[in-house]
Homo-oligomer: A and B are copies of this chain.
């Protein structure tokens, strides 16, 4: 596994920088026979697309994906699927000032140390734009998971800065730009975001992803446990600083009898584990949560140094997300789908002929 590749049997390899000509992805391992078209991928890409509300970055990208291989007569062939998205709206002039400086809180400084020089335009490969390809690849996984196994992968915003959701309705999510399932909190979130934008500040967010109808048995102890691979995939998203499965950090002060999910013939009585026991899926909903940090691209000045080591002040104009969390939901869903797809294939390889004889409990 190289740094630009994820997955063992369902493998996604990407390339492309924020201001290069195009983003590429090669998705390998999708079984043959799945009906697939560009429209399937475009759906999720559009959910992620910038410029769709005043709350997201004002960069207008078509984010139009093309399928260049691996599909024939409308179905996957089993051969690798090549994807391409052209970068059409890169304003390089916005970034000329930062060639010589390191924006605090950004990867500029670390990239310079690692590579000796860097493509400074828009953060180069560290930019969030590369996530477009993850969403496209994740859409393939999502479709297969759902069509073949009825597995649903859905995410939502559970907290924006100080604003936490109180109620929950999946149907509310498409109605607001936040992926918020609580209609009653949308106005508060909008007001908060407007104030933030006036201030020139940014804030963090918490996203939750739930995978339903997951068959039990996915995950490979000891290292490729399903929770470990989900943590890996989710932490690899730009701006993520924390990952939880099930009750997460709430476990610390929970007693054993409270935490364990008891089982009856009708099903589990709770789901503190978040659908994963001993690193293997139990059949219950898989519940994963991520914490996203506030973006560091601010017009409020910050102290930093330039490439000669001299102290400078950095101000970032241009187009930015005041809250990365606004767009992270489809990306988090995509990562969960990609991991589940990989494990589904791995499980199938090893355990096909086993009939455990156990009923699947939810």
Is A44 interfacial (CB-CB < 8 Å)? no
In the docked arrangement, what's the CA distance between A233 and B229, Å? 9
Known: A277-B107, A279-B107, A353-B31. A162 touches B253 (CB 8 A): yes
Contact A8 B4, beta carbon cutoff 8 Å: no
Answer yes or no: A53 CB below 8 A from chain B CBs.
Answer: no
- CB nearest neighbor in B for A105: B260
Chain B residues positioned under 8 Å from A236 (CB to CB): 222-225, 227-228, 279
Does any Cβ of B come within 8 Å of A281's Cβ? yes
Q: Scoring A residues 24 to 43 as 1 if CB is less than 8 Å from chain B, else 0, what string do you get?
A: 10101101110000000000
A291 touches B203 (CB 8 A): no
Within 8 Å CB of A227, what residues of B? 235-236, 240-241
Q: Does A310 sit within 8 A of B, measured CB to CB?
A: yes
Closest partner residue, chain B, to A294 (CB atom): B256
* Cα–Cα, bound, A227→B107 (Å): 13
| A204-B241 in contact (CB<8A) | no
Contact with A107, one of B203, B280, B303 (Cβ below 8 angstroms): B280
Interface residue A150 (Cβ < 8 Å from any Cβ of B): no
Measured CB to CB, the nearest residue on chain B to A247 is: B241
Interface size class of A (residues with CB under 8 A): 35 or more
* A window 3-59: CB within 8 A of B: 3-6, 8-9, 11, 13-17, 20-24, 26, 28-29, 31-33
Further pairs besides A110-B282, A113-B282: 19, Cβ < 8 Å: A4-B28, A17-B72, A24-B26, A31-B351, A32-B115, A77-B125, A78-B115, A104-B261, A109-B263, A112-B356, A206-B249, A228-B236, A231-B231, A235-B243, A241-B251, A247-B293, A257-B300, A265-B310, A309-B358
The 7 closest A-B pairs by CB, nearest first: A107-B278, A3-B220, A105-B260, A202-B256, A116-B354, A232-B232, A349-B349
26 interchain pairs (CB within 8 A)?
A3-B224, A9-B350, A13-B26, A14-B80, A15-B79, A24-B84, A29-B350, A31-B350, A31-B353, A77-B117, A77-B119, A109-B277, A114-B347, A204-B252, A206-B249, A227-B241, A241-B247, A241-B273, A242-B249, A249-B249, A251-B294, A258-B294, A260-B302, A264-B303, A348-B349, A349-B349
